[in-house]
Amino acid sequence: MDLHSKFPAISDLRRAARKRIPHFVWEYLDSATGDERTAQRNREGLDRVLFKASILHGEFKPDLTTMLLGRGFPLPFGISPVGMSGLIWPGAEKALAKTGAELGIPYAISTVATQTPEDIAPHLGEHAWFQIYPPRDEAIRDDMISRARGAGFSTLILTVDVPVASRRERQTRGGLTQPPKLTPRLAMQAAQCPAWLNGIRQTGMPRMKTLDKYSDFKGQLPSTEHIGYLLRTSPDWDYLKRLRDAWTGPLIVKGVTQTEDAVRLEEAGVDALWVSNHAGRQFDGAQGAIECLPQVCRATTLPVLFDSGIESGLDIIRALALGADFVMLGRAWHYALGAAGENGPAHLADMLRKDIEANMGQLGTKTLADLQHRRV
């Protein structure tokens, strides 16, 4: 099957995945919070980033290689951490870890993934990142990062834009609980998606397995909360300092949108900043993330990563042109899994690569660094 003919864009993957993923899971994956205005502003902000096409550059092959945190990457994008990834598509964490290893790009696993760091260890490449929601108990924190390091995760991501659970009204209406439980209504939805259901039968009903070690909680929680909220804290600057002291590898802080925070984070000794508004899933009164990116880049000498609203190779170019050193995607990889199974992620990566190359050809930009010179 020619996946480029069947799924030439992320929108095609999304459309196909929606048919193969149960509705209650889809609402978890695809929703934002509130009226989803921040998600809309993410899209509108990206659309406002325009370029000047350039002509008569002759034949050339764009160079997509880039450096980040002292390492070279063949592509300027990677795989973001997504909570409960294996609920969205059975076996997602292993499939995406393998994709990252095969492509030589970063794969980041969430604290609240359905597989443990130890489960994923055999499938990791050299660019394995662990995202941590900060445990309140420092002994749990130290054990968690020790497990991540022992499993082969070299870079730690501290997510700071989830101080409390958000509302995510669509997700709540969908009927998902934590841990997930197939009520009669949800079981009917699952029965309409046989590929997903067969996968769940093989993997078992997903849960946040990394956290099993730290809690014996047996109850049910709302869909927007989970067992992690019983263990975690809302970090402050002192917590960041203690985490910096505890982790000897590269430390990225995810969820940065303000210049004053960027300056202070650099002073605190973090290694990279990640501009993100959590794709509009946390706060519906925020600016589009892309609007925050240039000011953060101007405020720091650190590498800057970006996510929130990326839907194409052109969007990746937009973020790079505004100063990002690297771009991360989360939902798109899961659309790819839902649409095409384990073949989907490699197809998505190839689609994005070709889209970036085609647009760089139109702009006459031979390197990623040249993109900033083609902005309108």
226, 278, 334, 347: which is the annotated catalytic residue? Answer: 278
Cα–Cα–Cα angle for 273, 132, 120, nearest 5°? 110
Residue 277 · residue 296 · CB < 8 Å: no
- CA distance linking residue 123 with residue 101, whole number of Å: 7
Q: How far apart are CA 38 and CA 41, in angstroms?
A: 5
Structure-block tokens of residue 97: 């870890």
How is residue 372 annotated by DSSP? G
Q: Which two tokens stand for residue 283?
A: 């706060």
Contact 257, 287 (CB under 8 A): yes
- The question of whether 23 is a catalytic residue gets the answer no
Placement of tokens 């190839």 in the chain: 350
Residue at token pair 């209406």? 173
HEC string of 201-241 equals: HHHCCCCCHHHHHHCCCCCCECCCCCCHHHHECCCCHHHHH
Catalytic residue ranges:
278
